C-alpha cells in the first residue's frame, strides 16, 4: 500500500502555511509546543511564511489549516480534548482535504477509536484512523528510539516516551517504524524483516494516508521534532509539496541544524548504553 498521498491533492505553496496547535493547554504536558515552533521556524527558513494558530480548548477547530498538531496530556485533559476534537469532525475533514496531522503520545491515542481513562473507563476517540488503545500492565517510560520504515527515507528517530496505553493498528495500516529501544505501540504487533519496508521488530506509531491528507502518530512525545529535524522537514514537504530546501546562507538555520546534529550525536551515544 502506498503511504504517499495522490499527487496534486493540495495546492503547493500556500501563501502562509497555517499550523494548528490543537488545545495546547490540554495537550501540552511534555513541551509539545516545541513542535509547532520548530515547524513554523523551519518553514520560514525554507522560504515559506508560516503561522502557528493556537486553538484554545472550547473553541471550534479551524478547517483551513495545513498542519494540525496534537500533543500529550494527563488523563482528564486528554478526555476533554478528545471530546472537543470529535465534535464537528473538522479535523477529519481537514485531513481528507489534504492537511497533515502529527499526533504524539495522548494525541496518538485520541485519533483512534478508543482509549482508556482513569478508573478503567473507556473514552471514545476521534476515530480518524483505525487504531485502538488499551491499558498496559505497566507504564512505558524512558528513551524511545525508532527505525522508520525504510520506504520513508528517514534517519533513526530519537525521543522519549511516557504512557500506559498499548496501541494496536487496524488491518492494512502502516506504522511509522519499528522500535530499536523502548516500548512504542507495545501491543504485541510485530513486523518481520522485509515486509512492507520494515526492518523487523515491534511496531511504533502510525503513518497513514487519509483522503488527500496524511496522518502521522508516534509515542515519541513532546518536542519530538527537536531531535528529528528531518521528520519536521518531511511533514512540511507533505503539507506544502515543492518547498525549497533550507537556506544555507541563513546563520540561524545553520546554527539550528548544527545544534540538532550535536544533539543526535549525543543521543546516539546515550541511548546505545545500558
Partner 1 sequence: MLALQPALLSRLAANRDVVVVSGTNGKTTTTKLIAAALGDRGLVASNVGGANMTAGVATALAAKPRTAPAVLEVDELYLPRVAPLVAPKVVVLLNITRDQLDRSNETRRIAAVWRALGGELADATVVANVDDPLVVWAALGFSRRVWVAAGQRWALDATVCPACGGLLIRADGGWSCKSCDLCRPEPSVVATRFDQIDIDAVSLPVRLALPGLVNTGNAAIALAAVGVLGMEPAEALVPMSEVSDVQGRYREIVLGGRPARLLLAKNPAGWLEMLELLDETPARPLVIHFHARIADGRDPSWIWDVPLDRLAGRDVHICGERAEDVGVRLAYAGIAYELHGDPAAAAAACAGDGPIDVLATYTAFRELLTASGGLR
- Which residues here bind partner 1, judged by CB under 8 A? 25-26, 28-34, 37-38, 41, 57-58, 74-77, 79-80, 141-143, 160, 162, 221-223, 226-227, 252, 255-256, 258-260, 262-263, 265-267
Minimum distance from residue 24 beta carbon to partner 1 (Å):
8
Minimum distance from residue 112 beta carbon to partner 1 (Å):
21
Q: How far apart are CA 78 and CA 168, in angstroms?
A: 19
* CB-nearer residue toward partner 1: 192 or 259: 259
* CB-nearer residue toward partner 1: 143 or 151: 143
Minimum distance from residue 227 beta carbon to partner 1 (Å):
7
Q: How far apart are CA 96 and CA 149, in angstroms?
A: 23
Residue with C-alpha cell 512492507?
A: 196
* β 50-55/17-22 pair status: parallel
Q: How far apart are CA 231 and CA 85, in angstroms?
A: 25
* CB-nearer residue toward partner 1: 38 or 146: 38
CA angle in degrees (0–180, nearest 5) for 115-117-118: 160
* CB-nearer residue toward partner 1: 51 or 75: 75
Minimum distance from residue 100 beta carbon to partner 1 (Å):
20
Q: How far apart are CA 248 and CA 125, in angstroms?
A: 42
CA angle in degrees (0–180, nearest 5) for 121-181-131: 35
* CB-nearer residue toward partner 1: 32 or 202: 32
CB-hemisphere CA count at 13 Å for 116? 13
Minimum distance from residue 274 beta carbon to partner 1 (Å):
12
Helix (H) or strand (E) holding 191: strand 190-191
* CB-nearer residue toward partner 1: 53 or 253: 253
Amino acid at each position: 500500500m502506498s503511504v504517499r498521498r495522490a499527487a496534486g491533492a493540495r495546492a503547493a505553496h500556500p501563501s502562509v502555511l497555517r499550523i494548528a496547535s490543537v488545545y495546547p493547554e490540554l495537550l501540552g504536558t511534555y513541551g509539545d509546543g516545541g513542535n509547532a515552533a520548530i515547524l513554523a521556524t523551519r518553514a520560514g527558513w525554507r522560504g515559506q511564511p508560516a503561522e502557528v494558530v493556537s486553538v484554545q480548548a472550547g473553541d471550534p477547530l479551524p478547517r483551513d489549516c495545513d498542519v494540525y498538531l496534537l500533543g500529550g496530556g494527563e488523563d482528564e485533559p486528554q478526555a476533554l480534548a478528545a471530546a472537543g476534537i470529535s465534535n464537528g469532525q473538522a479535523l477529519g475533514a481537514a485531513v481528507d482535504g489534504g492537511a497533515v496531522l502529527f499526533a504524539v503520545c495522548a494525541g496518538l491515542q485520541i485519533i483512534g477509536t478508543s482509549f482508556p481513562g482513569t478508573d478503567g473507563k473507556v473514552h471514545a476517540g476521534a476515530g480518524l484512523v483505525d487504531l485502538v488503545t488499551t491499558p498496559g500492565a505497566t507504564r512505558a517510560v524512558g528513551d524511545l528510539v525508532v527505525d522508520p520504515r525504510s520506504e520513508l527515507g528517514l534517519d533513526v528517530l530519537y525521543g522519549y516516551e511516557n504512557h500506559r496505553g498499548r496501541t494496536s493498528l487496524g488491518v492494512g495500516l502502516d506504522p511509522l517504524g519499528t522500535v530499536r529501544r523502548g516500548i512504542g505501540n507495545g501491543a504485541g504487533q510485530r513486523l518481520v524483516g522485509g515486509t512492507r519496508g520494515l526492518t523487523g521488530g515491534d511496531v511504533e506509531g502510525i503513518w497513514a494516508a487519509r483522503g488527500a491528507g496524511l496522518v502521522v502518530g508516534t509515542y515519541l512525545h513532546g518536542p519530538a521534532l527537536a531531535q528529528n529535524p528531518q521528520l519536521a522537514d518531511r511533514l512540511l514537504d507533505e503539507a506544502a509539496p515543492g518547498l525549497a530546501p533550507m537556506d544555507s546562507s541563513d546563520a540561524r538555520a545553520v546554527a539550528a541544524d548544527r545544534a540538532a546534529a550535536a544533539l543526535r550525536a549525543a543521543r546516539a551515544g546515550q541511548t546505545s548504553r545500558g
